[in-house]
Chains A and B, each alone.
Chain A
Amino acid sequence: MKHLLFSIILLFPFYTLCGEASEIEIITPTEHSIFHEEFSSVVIKFISPEVEGVIITAESNQSSEIVRQKMRNTYCKTVSLIPGENTITVTAIGKEGLKEKLSVVIYHDIVSSKKYKYPPEIFTVKNFHVSSNEKVCIQCHKMEVNETPGIAFENPTDSNCYSCHKKLTMRREGHAPAINWLCTSCHQIQKNFDGKIDTDSTKFTLPNQIGKVCLNCHKKEKEIWDSQRFHHMPVDADQCTRCHNPHSSENRFYLKAKPWVLCTSCHIEKISDNHILITLVSKKHPTQGKPDPSRPGKELECISCHNPHAADTRSMIKAKSPMSICIKCHKK
């Protein structure tokens, strides 16, 4: 009996410590999840009534505070991510100072970068819009889709998707379906065989071959490309989003990076190759960093001469024959 009492006394502080480990809960992001875009929503639930606020710090050295309001336990915040691993730390603050520190590690992958293309294997893609998560959001947000397919919102902020995902469309060039918040044009609502919305995996899915979705609107491109002899492999593999950001981008054509950067992420040998000219004496043909004489006002880049999708000429040259592209710049 004495022993038992002793052990209870010994273990008591440990139990209280365990109890303290649930002051707050990070609902999303889930530990070891992958993010394709450079933002993540952080959703925090205050469990203990003693927590007065939290400080969220992200890898990008950005920190933000959330002060508790009356009658509200769940709070959201969007944080910016850096390429690769990101640790998001949430510090709960009470009257006496720090109460608890929680952190999650997530990964922002970049398909066009060799370094950030392959997240370590513990990271997986996790879908947010499952019923268990949506149950939490529904206290403040309308979680149903309120768009009429194909009809743009007069005011995009009316879209139920807008408030959480608005950052996706804030870059310079916005893709029409995204900036008009017609999200379900691409993120089709997944229905089970009985016609009910599937909430166990995610409501909003994308097919593996995204090209099938893109070409619903970009039909004419498909017809042209199919009739041409040589196709760029990502085009044939329906991997449009390998180079293009379907929401918005700072680059032309919604490209995920500058064309030269994108091209050389696969065609690495073209960085050091003697491009076009095989000579030891003269300089190699430039592929960037010079004005493009064939397109006044623009810089020379791979797509000055090459068609990135399909062509009838070998090496996917934007002319009838390899030589006729040269005279576009090298006039007499």
Chain B
Amino acid sequence: MKLLIPKICFITAIAGMVLSLYGADGIEILHPVDKKIYYEAYAGITVKVNDHAISRVEILTDRNEHFPVILTKECDNVCSKTIKLHPGENSVRVVGYKGEVPLYEIKTELYHVLQIKGFKDPPIKFTEAYFHTDVNEKVCAECHDMGSNEKKNIAFIDVEESNCYVCHKNITADKYAHAPAVNWLCTSCHNGKSGEKNSEEKGLSKYIVSKPIAPTCFLCHQKSKESWDTKKYKHLPVAAGRCTKCHNPHASNDQMFLRESVKTLCLECHGDKKLSAQMRGNSKCPGETADTCVMCHNPHASDHKFLLTISQNGNV
């Protein structure tokens, strides 16, 4: 009996090692790296199948969604599938089947950031990672043209011609799309230049954007900058150059490419106004639906207190 317990331990340890080795070898997740942060709701999962016994690969999410991956032999058994993420922590499993028997399973955790409480600040274990590195691109280059084929400021006649389109098409699928994104002029913003607040990220990706993002936005929205600069009071995210805190630069189902509805966004920071916003929601303001903060407040800059669009005395 005394000998039995260490024996069992030894056997299970060996079996575990063999299984884990086997598990890692049979299929691999080339992308994303574990614990990656996503700002958009889509993640492209790239799987490499090493064991030829595998007939079918499926991606399973923690919400019981199944995404079948189609294997193509031409691509050296590398295949990709875009899955939709839910806000917050996502646990994704990639399972390799032989017939109906699951042979291999790999887990990865991803985080989808939203500008809503609870999903705003990813836990420390999650990190930003960049896909477009030389190592990764070498793998993709076997099937995809990895060079940027856009002409600066010239829109594609057929957007599907953009080399970026095939992998990233989901991000412009929402109702309202931002012109540079929907015309696939990606490098207008993703110019690879780091800014004042992310100089240490320089060179990490060909398509890095600068932080703060505002100088990039102001390349086109120059007039907005000019008019805000002359105003007495600025909304703090505007002064901090964080346009993308509220706006999605690719596309959105809300007007002005807002990440959420106006009220949801405003109340995220101005939580103390929840009740007064509700009260106003029921009152009848002239014009449109009364429940939006921006009917009276300018979300960017104003000469009037509380960023009111007109002064309380009615002066514009």
Binding site for B on A (CB under 8 A): 117-118, 121, 208-209, 226-227, 230-231, 233-234, 236-239, 268-269, 312-315, 320-321
Contact = CB atoms under 8 A, between A and B. Distances in A.
Interface of B: 120-124, 196-200, 212, 229, 233-234, 236-237, 239-242, 271-272, 303-306, 311, 315
B247 to A, nearest CB: 16
Contact of A233 (B123, B233, B236, B306): B236
A237 B241 CA distance: 7
Nearest to B236: A233
Given A226-B197, A233-B236, A313 B124 contact: yes
Given A226-B200, A314-B122, A233 B237 contact: yes
B239 A227 contact: no
A237 B303 contact: no
B309 to A, nearest CB: 14
B272 A312 contact: no
B304 A121 contact: yes
Contacts of B121: 230, 314-315
17 contacts: A118-B233, A121-B303, A121-B305, A121-B311, A208-B229, A226-B196, A226-B197, A226-B199, A230-B121, A233-B236, A236-B197, A236-B241, A237-B239, A314-B123, A314-B124, A315-B121, A321-B124
B122 A239 contact: no
Ranked nearest first, the 4 interchain pairs of A and B with the lowest CB-CB distance are A314-B121, A118-B305, A236-B240, A237-B239
Given A226-B197, A226-B200, 11 more contacts: A117-B305, A118-B305, A121-B305, A208-B229, A236-B240, A237-B240, A268-B272, A269-B271, A314-B122, A314-B123, A321-B124
A75 to B, nearest CB: 34
A123 to B, nearest CB: 11
A236 B271 contact: no
B304 A236 contact: no
B227 to A, nearest CB: 15
Nearest to A320: B124
B212 A236 contact: yes
Contacts of B124: 312-314, 320-321
A227 B241 contact: no
A227 B237 CA distance: 19
Contacts of A208: 229
Contacts of A268: 272
> Interface majority SS on A: helix, strand, loop or mixed?
loop
Contacts of B200: 226-227
B303 A236 contact: no
B interface secondary structure, majority: loop
A239 B239 contact: yes
A209 to B, nearest CB: 8
B277 to A, nearest CB: 13
A232 B304 CA distance: 25
A237 B212 CA distance: 10
B70 to A, nearest CB: 37
B305 to A, nearest CB: 3
A127 to B, nearest CB: 16
A199 B160 CA distance: 59
A313 B306 CA distance: 31
Contacts of B123: 314, 321
A238 B121 CA distance: 22
A230 B128 CA distance: 13
Contacts of A236: 197, 212, 240-242
Contacts of B236: 233-234, 237, 239
B315 A118 contact: no
A118 B306 contact: yes
A117 B229 CA distance: 19
A176 B307 CA distance: 35
A177 to B, nearest CB: 23
Given A233-B237, A236-B212, A236-B242, A226 B198 contact: yes
A269 B272 contact: yes
Contacts of A226: 196-200
B305 A233 contact: no
A321 B125 CA distance: 10
A269 B267 CA distance: 11
A121 B232 CA distance: 10
A315 B121 CA distance: 7
Nearest to B304: A121
Contact of A231 (B197, B234, B239, B311): B197
B40 to A, nearest CB: 19
